[in-house]
Amino acid sequence: MLRDQVRTTNALSINEIYESIQGEGLLIGTPSVFVRFQGCNLRCPWCDQPSALSFREASYDQEEVLKRVKSSPFRHVVITGGEPFAHTGLFQLVKRLLEEGFSVQIETNGTLWVEGMEEVAERVHITCSPKAVADFFVHPKILKFARELKFVVDSALSLEVLLKKEFVPFLKDQRVVLQPESNRPEALEKALSLQRELAERGFTVRVIPQVHKFLGIK
């Protein structure tokens, strides 16, 4: 899918690097350095990072990114976007961060894969957030290595989607998070309803909002 948009250089196109707490998903509350890639292959209608969507020329080299990350006392790095797997430089960056002793998390829409990532993927917390605009397609390699599935609960998400056969192993292992879209009350109501319907089928999923937004932090 949209392979032509995958960058072919190890120079990195970065939107921003900043410190915060992880506000979403199973690792919520973890003090983290966020490295946000610039450029995404999808266009979700409610995307909260519109400035990170267009692809641009590289703005950092890898050593600059490492220097910025190492200047923080936090030892967890969240690589986000945009879409991190739309950049081949992702592999070398992750490799270096792991060598430097950081724990690494990648937040991805799940549609792409970067060659070489098999070497490091088992040591990375991959959070996959399947998207309606991609018909909830998830690349087989992401399905293999992802540690959690985080579904944004919007008008397109349904019980049928959550019960797709490739997602059932995550349901069985309680590695599914439902995140109400933009913390809207209607989305929360729908998330709780889906949570109940899944419980009736024997699956426990977590409903977790975007906590950093409640706290009023980045």
Which spans of this chain sit near ligand SF4 (rule: CB under 6 A)? 40, 42-44, 47, 49, 53, 81-83, 109, 131
Q: In the complex with ligand SF4, which residue's Cβ is closer, 49 or 59?
A: 49
Q: Which residues contact 84 (CB under 8 A, 6 or more apart)?
A: 37, 90, 106, 107, 108
C-alpha 160/C-alpha 181 separation (Å) is 18
The H-or-E segment that residue 192 falls in is helix 185-200
Which residue number, 23 or 81, has a Cβ lying nearer to ligand SF4?
A: 81
Minimum distance from residue 205 beta carbon to ligand SF4 (Å): 20
Q: For ligand SF4, which is the closer residue by CB, 125 or 150?
A: 150
- In whole angstroms, how close is the CB of 130 to ligand SF4 at the nearest point? 10
CB of residue 51 to ligand SF4, shortest distance in Å: 10
CA-CA distance, 22 to 27, in Å (whole number)? 7
Contact 14, 36 (CB under 8 A): yes
Sheet of strand 124-128: strand arrangement = 14-21, 31-37, 76-80, 103-108, 124-128, 148-153, 176-180, 206-207
Shortest Cβ 91–ligand SF4 spacing (Å): 20
Residue 44: count other Cβ atoms within 10 Å of its Cβ. Answer: 19
| Min CB(202)–ligand SF4 separation in Å | 30
Q: Which is nearer to ligand SF4, 40 or 176 (CB)?
A: 40
Is the CB of 54 or the CB of 204 nearer to ligand SF4? 54
